[in-house]
Structure formats: C-alpha cells, structure tokens
Amino acid sequence: MDIGISAIQIAYKDGTESNWLGDPEGGWRGSTLGLHLTDLRVWQDDIKVLSLIPRIRESEDSTRHDQLSRTFASRTLWYNYPHQSAGDELRLARLSSIHIPLMHHPAWSLNQYLPFFEDGCHATGMTVYLGGDGTNGIVIHGQKLDHGAGLREGLSMYMPFNLGERIVRLSLLSSRYKHQNGPFLLVETEVKPENHTTTQDATRRCVFFGPAHLLYAFREMSWTSLLPGSAKEDVSVLKGLIVDPLALGEGANLTTLGVHVTRTEMEHRYEARDQASNSIHKIIWPDLRPSEGYFAHLTVARLINVKELAIQKTYRTENSRPRCTGLIICYLDDSKAVLGQWDVSASSTIIYDAANGTPLTSLLFQKGPSGTGHGRGYMVDIVANTSEEAYLAQSLQEEVDFDLAPELAGSTFEWQASRNESVCWMFGQRSDFVRYCQLKKLEIEPGEIIPYTVHHMP
C-alpha cells in the first residue's frame, strides 16, 4: 500500500491558490499553516514525500478570533474535502475533548464531509444511527452515492427529502439528564411554495434524531444552532455535514459535528433574532410526551392520499417473532414519509398498492406481548385492509415458522381512513407504540449554549 503525499497546492495571503502539483483526486486532504515558504520543512524517505511541516513563529501568531479559527481548521485531515466558495463557512461544535490521536499526526483532527449536493442534485435523504448515549453514525443518501461517517449500528431513523424540500434549521442538543449523552440532531425542513402539494400537510416539518422525552428536560439541555437561516433564496444555505469520526464519547457516539454553509442576507437576519433569545424557536411537534423511562424516538406522518405502503422486518432470534421495524409511505405525488425505523439498504414488503384499484380503509398495527413473552412489546406486523367490514386482530396472519397461542397475540391499534389525524410511532430498543396524535407548536427552552468554531473562507 502506497503511503505519502500525492499532490501539493499553495494558498496565498491574497486568497488565490496555485495549481496542483501531482494528482489531488482521492485520499485524505489536509492543510497546514505557514507564514513563509522558507519555513517549510519536508519529511521524506528515499522515494516519496511523507509530510510537510511548517515552522510558525510564536511572536507572529495572532490571538484574534478569526486567526484562531484558521489555525484550528488548518490542523485537519479531510476525507471528501468540501468544495468551498468565497464567503462559505465551516461551523464545527466540539462537545468533548476526548479524541483518538492519529499515529503520525497526533495534534491533528480528522474530518469526514457528507455533501448534500453532488453534480447539482440534492440528496434524497439522510439516515441517523442512534445508540443509548448519542449519535453513532450519519449517512447522506445522494442520487448516485451514499456518504457516511461513524457506525451504522443501533436504531436507524431515515428522513427522505421530497421535491423542493431543504433543511432550513439544524441544531445540536446535548443532555445531562441522569448522565451525559448526545449530541442529537434537531432538523427542520421547508418545502418551497412552488413544490407544495395538497398531499403535504404543511410547508415545514421537524425531525428530532434523539429520545423525544429529552425535549421536555429543559434545565438539563444544552444546545447550539448551526444553521439559523432560510432556504427561500435560490442559493442553498446548507451544503454538507462535517463529522470527526475519531472524536467519540464513552459510548462510541460522535461528539464533534458541524456544517458547511453559504451565508445569505436572510440568514443574517435570522441569526440576529436567534441570538437575542435563549430558547429555540417554536417547532411543530406531536402532542404525545413519552415517559422518562421509555427512552423513545418519535416519528409522525399522515396516511392520506397514499399510493403505496411497504414494511420492513428484522429477524431477532430463532425463538422469537420477527420485529416489524417500520413503515414507509409513498404518496400520490411521489413524496415519502417514514413511521418507525427504516433501512434503505434492506429489503421491504409492499402491503398496499393503490394501482390495484381498491381504496385503503384501515391499517392494523399489531404488537407482541409486553413483559417476558415472545414479542417484548415490539411491533410484529402491519396489515392493510381494503374491505369495509370490521377486521379483528385475530385475523392477522401469523408467520409460517411460528406457532403462537391466541393469548400471546398482543395488542392492536387500528388506523381508520375516516379519521383525518396524524399517526405517531414511538420506538425504543425493544418496544414500539403507535397512536393518533395532533401537531402543536412546542417551544424548547434549554439552558447552556454550546459554543462552536467558525472557519471563514476568503
């Protein structure tokens, strides 16, 4: 395996850059700060250059905030380096000083860049993997490729991006509730008016990639708003996410997250308003508050104008029923929503297709028994009903390989097409809970504000 520097480029004080010497494609990309080219030292073996190390005179090192941010950003190796324009910003929040050191560059950090745009096309969605202590991994699903950082383990929350939908607010929330955990992503999206349809019940929606009950533990919550702007302008505000995969908490959860943004005049106004308040603006949120011991993640969707429904199941052990982990909804305008968990790389089963010509009248969500039974309170099946007749829980088909007694059938929630209400699915490691819900405005009033470092592009 070849190890060494494959290309070099020089950035000058006036903002210009030299041509690349070598091949810059592929591999990790980093930068190092030097005042003069004569200060540059080269570490090499007999064949290839291994490292470029500048000598920075302490007397010439500035203590200004912008200079500190440049020095901070220069001590970084990048995988999939962000393509930046003049005026772009990299905002990075570090919630922990714990960092796995690089072997040959112990003072450097390691960043992975997850782009929201490739070849002019916006990503189709994002998946966040959650553990008991925080965020294990993040994947941005592009039109052609996926870009991920961290572990693809734990509970998976998938958020599809629909036509014209863009992230307009992104906050990090960390909790000291009982013990330190986080950060978790709080994402708010907006659909531009020209892309809004009657299928979508609002132009904005909010998704919290974390335990829902933490939103109510105000006094124990710290937060920062990495993206306080608006996506109403023609130029996208959020270009990508930044993750340091070596900055990990005790539970192997990510502790350093950031964004690549293009500032607009609209954002300046939003930012000024947000900084004047100690609370996150009101978000649209279901009226169900999970209990503190439930540690549930929450998803919400409407089941009107449905084109197709599909479910996913996960086989746990030989002696237990498969868990039905999630339901994906495709609407008549081809927009999508998810209830429960969803893994875009796993297989799914279609349970309803409007192309067959029969209207959807009800959905039956069947849970296994709570306690120590086979189901442990998680979802085991979802059945779509196209009949006007009553459909009882006992009519749900059992899996062929399992023979459960009738008393172990568990409980069933029936959604009816005649009720124009949203459906909320809360889920944990071994439990699921589905009910009707109403959306309301919730104002979060967390305490301490998490600082973040800003690196300005010239």
Closest to 335 in 3D by CA, of 178, 99, 109, 164: 164
- Cβ–Cβ under 8 Å, residues 291 and 213: yes
Least confident piece of the model among 54-58, 108-112, 381-385: 54-58
- Is the pLDDT reported for residue 138 higher than 60? yes
Closest to 447 in 3D by CA, of 173, 76, 103: 173
- Is the pLDDT reported for residue 135 higher than 50? yes
Least confident piece of the model among 138-142, 205-209, 274-278: 274-278
Instruction: Tell me which of 344 and 321 has the higher pLDDT.
Output: 344
Name the pTM for this structure.
0.78
**How do residues 115-134 score in pLDDT, each as one tens digit?**
999 888 999 999 999 988 88
Average of per-residue pLDDT across 104-121 = 84
Q: What is the pLDDT of residue 295?
A: 63
Cβ neighbors of 243 (< 8 A, separation 6 or more) are: 111, 112, 114, 138, 149, 150, 254, 256, 257, 258
Token readout for 416 is 């009816």
For residues 99 and 121, what is the distance between their CA atoms, to the nearest angstrom?
34
Q: Are strands 135-141 and 125-130 parallel, antiparallel or unpaired?
A: antiparallel
**Taking all residues of the chain, what is their mean pLDDT, rounded to a whole number?**
75
Which domains are delineated in the chain? 1-61 (no CATH), 83-287+447-456 (2.100.10.30), 297-437 (2.100.10)
